A and B are shown apart, each in its own frame.
Chain A
Amino acid sequence: MLQIKNLHASVGGKAILNGLDLTLPKGEVHAIMGPNGSGKSTLAFLLAGREGYEVTAGGVTYEGRDLLAMAPEERAREGLFLAFQYPIEIPGVPTASFLKTAVNAVRKARGLPQYDAVEFLKILKAKRDFLGIGDDMLRRALNVGFSGGEKKRAEVLQMLLLEPRLAVLDETDSGLDIDALRIVAEGINALRSPDRAILLITHYQRLLDYVVPDRVHVLTGGRIERSGGKELAQELERQGYVGTAA
Chain B
Amino acid sequence: MSQDRPTTGTGDAPPGSETPRSSWPLYEVFVRGKRGLNHVHVGSLHAADEEMALHNARNLYTRRNEGVSIWVVRAEHITASSPDEKDSFFAPSADKVYRHPTFYSIPDDVPHM
The yes or no verdict on A and B being binding partners is no
